[in-house]
Amino acid sequence: MYHYDPYYPIGNSQSYDIIQGCRVGKHCDILLLGCGDVRNILHTLHVLRQENGGKVKGRKMNIHMNDIEVGILARDLILLHLMRTIDPGNGEDMKFLWAVWYDIVLSEQHFNRLRCLSERSGKSWV
């Protein structure tokens, strides 16, 4: 009999603050076991930024992510890379990020852009 393991690339629950309101000093290390989609990390960073009036300079957070599903980790790394390198003021960049994050099938244009990004990193991961 075939065993089916559910695969939730965009999660199956609402995002939440992973530090649940804990105070974060100048340095913080977080280990996430079974991290899943990056939504919880992004939610936490958003909450921290709001609590500090948008000031995050001088703080260092190391977030170590782990998950049993290698595909989830690979996807998370791609998304975090895109979030760090795209221009949020550019509509095409935001459409690309949204497509990579939420679309089941990428358009040819978005697939080619993702492939070019992967090839620039020295190893093709697409």
Is the pLDDT at 113 greater than 90, yes or no? yes
Whole-prediction pTM value?
A: 0.77
Structure tokens belonging to residue 4? 């089916």
pLDDT (0 to 100) of residue 123: 63
Q: How far is CA 15 from CA 5, 25, 56, 90, 125, in A?
A: 22, 23, 21, 25, 27
Is the pLDDT at 126 greater than 60, yes or no? no
Give the mean pLDDT of 21-33.
83
